[in-house]
């Protein structure tokens, strides 16, 4: 703003990192048509967790750094709408696991198998003081082996 004496006394604020860097979340479609989102950076992973519907499924490597993967059960695809984690196709879960492994960094990408946890997004939250770490407060975590896809 300009003061009464004509001086410019405006305060310049730095934009937040999130407003400057637009997350480039990767988008895929599972074999059954369910959308899958993959976040490769900490900012993208955080955005995915914030925007996920409670009934979407969240995937992550067990005990290792990895991208966050969201299987969007809440998304409408054509005339079909997935309803629950229990009714999700094995092919869609397999596709999400494969993407979680494929977009991970390091030698785990080339490993024949790896442990991947998945849980409904409503059970995922940040742990205070630990950036990028998530926890399932209910204790319900499912382990799945990602098979090789051709």
Q: Is the dihedral of CA 69, 66, 107, 26 positive or negative?
A: positive
Q: Is the pLDDT of residue 79 over 90?
A: no
- The least confident of 18-32, 83-97, 99-113 is 18-32
- Domain hosting 71: range is 22-145
List pLDDT tens digits, range 82-103.
Answer: 456 667 888 999 999 999 999 9
Residue 100 and residue 75: Cα distance in Å, rounded? 19
pTM for the whole structure: 0.70
Q: Is residue 53 part of a domain?
A: yes
Q: Is residue 15 part of a domain?
A: no
- The backbone torsions φ and ψ at residue 97, rounded to the nearest 5 degrees and listed phi first, read -65, -45
Number of domains in the chain: 1
Q: Is residue 39 part of a domain?
A: yes
pLDDT value at residue 87? 74
Of the candidates 40, 68, 35, 73, the residue with the CA atom closest to the CA atom of residue 54? 73
Spatial CB neighbours of 37, under 8 Å, sequence gap ≥ 6: 25, 26, 27, 28, 48, 69, 70, 72
List pLDDT tens digits, range 126-150.
Answer: 766 655 555 555 544 444 444 555 4
Q: Is residue 27 part of a domain?
A: yes
Q: Residues 33-48: what's their mean pLDDT?
A: 89
pLDDT value at residue 63? 82
Q: Is residue 17 part of a domain?
A: no
């Amino acid at each position: 703003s300009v003061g009464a004496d004509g001086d410019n006394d405006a305060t310049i604020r730095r934009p937040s990192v999130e407003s400057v860097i637009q997350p480039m979340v990767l988008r895929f479609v599972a074999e059954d048509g369910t959308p899958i989102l993959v976040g490769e950076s900490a900012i993208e992973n955080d955005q995915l967790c914030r925007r996920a519907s409670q009934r979407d499924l969240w995937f992550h490597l067990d005990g290792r750094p990895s991208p966050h993967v969201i299987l969007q059960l809440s998304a409408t695809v054509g005339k079909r709408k997935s309803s629950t984690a229990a009714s999700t196709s094995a092919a869609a879960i397999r596709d999400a696991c494969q993407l979680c492994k494929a977009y991970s960094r390091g030698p785990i990408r080339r490993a024949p198998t790896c442990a991947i946890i998945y849980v409904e997004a409503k059970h995922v939250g940040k742990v205070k003081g630990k950036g990028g770490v998530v926890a399932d407060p209910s204790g319900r975590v499912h382990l799945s082996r990602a098979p090789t896809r051709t």
